[in-house]
């Protein structure tokens, strides 16, 4: 196991992910994931069924309601654009934070990538929280934020589909600082793609403002400040993809960004996503 960056990320060698994980391998990978937050595996020529089996070892898999699916495995989403349509994952985000039970993690395999470009960044949101000024940590303690599927995915739907998705996936409210259920670490848990606003900012800071625009502007400024923390390179690791590279990340404690610098070249991925639990 070779660490890739000081803050997070490690490359795992000497393992064949086509084979079912035995108990020792499973426990070692789970421990490595908690420590390094994103794991990289090279030259893993696995099938779609083997990817599903690998991800299922870590928990039940979700079926994404918007992304296209693999024809034989609905648990696998197909990511990437083509020569006519650029991909749109190039924003820092935590996968499916708009669910009541956001994902525990994802396993992403590269089917096709450009010779140059198309890298992905991951961010250690535990380190981000720890690095915030103490006054900001105090200010956000106990706050909650609203996460919504429609701002990011609504443009892919017609009006009827948007209404159906709103009924199926009402906006979810999660703590701004969640606790990792396995490590106890504090995690800054807002993201630019899906977090729309703070649910209880005025309630927590009542009596400090003259007019409505005072607290509204301050709330928006605070949220934008928190979003920008993911941009700091000190908290990031960057992966250059190759064919049959696999990334496995802890979606509770990280954000990621797929760099769209390669269009009209193709970048095609298969992702399996493991259901998590309610943030607290």
What is the set of active-site residues?
93, 95, 256, 271
Please tell me the distance from the alpha carbon of residue 11 to that of residue 64, in angstroms, as a whole number.
27
How many other C-beta atoms can be found within 10 angstroms of the C-beta atom of residue 71? 9
Preceding omega of 264 cis (within 30 degrees of 0): yes
- Token pair listed for 59: 């928990």
Please tell me the distance from the alpha carbon of residue 249 to that of residue 256, in angstroms, as a whole number.
9
**21, 51 Cβ separation under 8 angstroms:** no
Beta-carbon-side half-sphere exposure of residue 132 (alpha carbons within 13 Å): 24
Q: Tell which residue, 91, 90, 92, 87, has the closest CA to residue 77.
A: 87
């Amino acid at each position: 196991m070779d660490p890739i960056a000081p803050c997070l990320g490690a490359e795992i060698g000497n393992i064949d992910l086509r084979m079912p994980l035995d108990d020792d391998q499973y426990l070692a990978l789970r421990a490595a994931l908690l420590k390094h937050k994103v794991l990289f595996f090279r030259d893993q020529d696995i099938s779609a069924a083997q990817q599903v089996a690998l991800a299922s070892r870590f928990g039940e898999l979700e079926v994404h309601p918007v992304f296209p699916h693999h024809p034989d495995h609905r648990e696998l989403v197909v990511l990437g654009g083509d020569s006519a349509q650029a991909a749109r994952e190039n924003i820092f985000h935590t996968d499916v934070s708009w669910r009541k039970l956001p994902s525990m993690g994802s396993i992403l395999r590269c089917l096709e990538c450009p010779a140059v470009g198309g890298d992905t960044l991951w961010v250690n949101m535990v380190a981000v929280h720890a690095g915030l000024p103490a006054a900001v940590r105090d200010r956000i303690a106990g706050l909650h934020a609203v996460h919504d599927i429609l701002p990011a995915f609504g443009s892919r739907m017609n009006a009827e589909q948007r209404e159906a998705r709103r009924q199926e996936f009402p906006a979810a409210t999660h703590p701004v600082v969640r606790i990792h259920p396995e490590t106890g670490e504090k995690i800054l848990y807002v993201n630019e793609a899906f977090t729309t606003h703070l649910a209880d900012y005025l309630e927590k800071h009542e009596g400090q403002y003259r007019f409505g625009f005072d607290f509204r502007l301050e709330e928006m400024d605070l949220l934008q400040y928190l979003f920008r923390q993911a941009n700091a390179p000190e908290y990031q690791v960057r992966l250059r993809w190759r064919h049959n590279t696999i990334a496995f990340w802890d979606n509770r404690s990280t954000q990621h960004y797929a760099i769209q610098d390669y269009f009209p070249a193709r970048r095609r991925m298969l992702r399996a996503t493991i259901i998590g639990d309610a943030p607290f």
